[in-house]
Structure 1
Amino acid sequence: MLKLFRLLARGAAARAEEEVIDRHALLILDQQIRETRVSLERSRLALASAVAGDKAEERRLSQVEARSADLEERALAALAAGRDELAAEAADAIAELEAERDAIGEARLRFAREVARIRAVVADATRRQNELERGRRIAAAAEAARRLGIQAHANDRATLKEAEATLSRLRALQAEAADTEAALAEMEPGLSVAERLEREGFGSSTRPSGGAVLERLRSKLRTDAAA
């Protein structure tokens, strides 16, 4: 029984650990990306330093070859002048320079292979780092959407639909009000400029009035009586 309890305790601890990891997966991923980015930057700096060191070795090789060529020219001149002892001394120095030249050449060949390997590793790490950061942006958006669904209470999950329905009703009411105003405007058109001037007493009447009609009838009656 004690063994079973221990097994259950380990299982509960493992599940709790997994739940913590799942709950904070995005935070963990962010930290891991920061650390891999720092590591990648260090690798790039190390590669740049290695390439710079190889350039220095290349310059050193050129110097060694130049010194060797200069000594060889002088040794030939010494031999021609019969100074064998000086020529032998120069030959020893030339031999040392040539040995150094060969060592530098071999070291540069090995170094070139190693630099090529490091370049490939850094290039692959850079590609994977970029993919990680792109994936992180997508994961962050998906996580935000997931949390929106998880954190909504059962009674709140129709909030968006209810808001959309309210907006639709509001738009319908506004459209109906606009139609009503348009209909009223058609039934009661506004005064024209001439009518507004007439109302203020400027100019003759633009519309027939009862008084004018009555005066016209009287005038017609007088005309008929005179006839």
Structure 2
Amino acid sequence: MFKLFRILARGTAAQAEEDLFDRHALLVLDQQIRETRVSLERSKLALATALAGDRAEARRREEVAARIDDLETRAVAALSGGREDLAAEAADTIADLEGEIAAIAAARLRFGTEIGRLRHLVADATRRQADLERGRRIAAAAEAVRRLGASAAGSDRATLREAEATLQRLRRNQVEAADLDEARAEVEPGQDIAEKLAREGFGAASRPRAGDVLERLRQKATMQPAGA
């Protein structure tokens, strides 16, 4: 039984780890891409260093070869002048320089092998890095769509339903308000037409008019004695 519990505990932990990874897979991918990008930059730097080293060795070889040529010319002149001792000394130096030429050739051979390996590595890593970053952009877009769909299936859809219900209620209230205004206009049937008839001089006015008030004031004015 205890063994079964241990197996279940390990299974639960593994499942929790997988669930955690799935929930944060895009974040994990971003970090991994950053790390692989750093590794790629280091590989490029190593390639650049190897190329620079090979070029330095090539320049060194040219310098040594030029010195050998110069010493050989001088040694031949020394032999012609009867100075075999100087020619022998020059020959020793030339031998050392030729040994250096051989060492440079071996170094350049190693550089060539390393440069070839690094070129292949950098080209492959660059292609794969580009694929990773392209895939990351696609995955991010797909994840955004997935999350939108997941949220729309839950709280977002409920929010949409609530908004739709609010809009329907607002429209209903507006219709009710319009109905109320129409009902108020109908509280006094014929009021509008009565006022219209009064304005046209048919029947007494339903409300005082400014012209009637002014006429009444004029009459009062004429009835008052002068200087009162």
Number of matched residues?
Answer: 163
When the two structures are superposed, what TM-score results if normalisation uses the length of structure 2? Answer: 0.67
- Structure 1 residues 3, 88: closer, same or farther in 2, change over 3 A? same
Distance apart, 1:138 and its partner CA: 0.3
CA RMSD of aligned residues (A): 1.9
- Mapped to 2, the partners of 1:91 and 1:154 lie a distance apart of 91
Post-superposition Cα deviations, 1:6-34, rounded to whole Å, max 9, x if no partner, equal 00000000000000000000000001001
Distance apart, 1:151 and its partner CA: 2.0
Deviates more, 1:116-125 or 1:104-113: 104-113
- What's the counterpart of residue 205 of structure 2? none
- Mapped to 1, the partners of 2:154 and 2:57 lie a distance apart of 71
Distance apart, 1:156 and its partner CA: 5.0
- What's the counterpart of residue 103 of structure 1? 103
Q: Which amino acid in structure 1 is aligned with residue 109 of structure 2? A: L
**Any unmatched runs of 5+ in structure 1?**
167-227
When the two structures are superposed, what TM-score results if normalisation uses the length of structure 1? Answer: 0.68
- Mapped to 2, the partners of 1:61 and 1:112 lie a distance apart of 15
- Mapped to 2, the partners of 1:153 and 1:137 lie a distance apart of 24
Q: Which amino acid in structure 1 is aligned with residue 86 of structure 2? A: L
Q: Which runs of 4+ in 1 moved over 6 A?
A: none
- Mapped to 2, the partners of 1:50 and 1:117 lie a distance apart of 11
| Aligned partner of residue 82 in structure 2, secondary structure | coil
Percent identical among aligned pairs is 68
- Structure 1 residues 140, 155: closer, same or farther in 2, change over 3 A? closer
- What's the counterpart of residue 183 of structure 1? none
- What's the counterpart of residue 68 of structure 1? 68
Q: Which amino acid in structure 1 is aligned with residue 32 of structure 2? A: Q
Distance apart, 1:38 and its partner CA: 1.1
- Mapped to 1, the partners of 2:128 and 2:155 lie a distance apart of 43
| Aligned partner of residue 104 in structure 2, secondary structure | helix
| Aligned partner of residue 73 in structure 1, secondary structure | helix
- What's the counterpart of residue 36 of structure 2? 36
**Any unmatched runs of 5+ in structure 2?**
168-228
Distance apart, 1:95 and its partner CA: 0.4
Distance apart, 1:155 and its partner CA: 7.3
Distance apart, 1:39 and its partner CA: 1.1
Distance apart, 1:153 and its partner CA: 3.9
- Mapped to 2, the partners of 1:155 and 1:48 lie a distance apart of 55
- Mapped to 2, the partners of 1:134 and 1:124 lie a distance apart of 15
- The yes-or-no answer on 1:77 pairing with 2:77 is yes
Q: Which amino acid in structure 2 is aligned with residue 64 of structure 1? A: V
Equivalent residues of 2:40, 2:126 under 8 A apart: yes
| Aligned partner of residue 82 in structure 1, secondary structure | coil
- Mapped to 2, the partners of 1:92 and 1:153 lie a distance apart of 89
Post-superposition Cα deviations, 1:41-98, rounded to whole Å, max 9, x if no partner, equal 1111121122111111111111110111111111100111111111111111000000
- Mapped to 2, the partners of 1:139 and 1:75 lie a distance apart of 73
Distance apart, 1:101 and its partner CA: 0.3
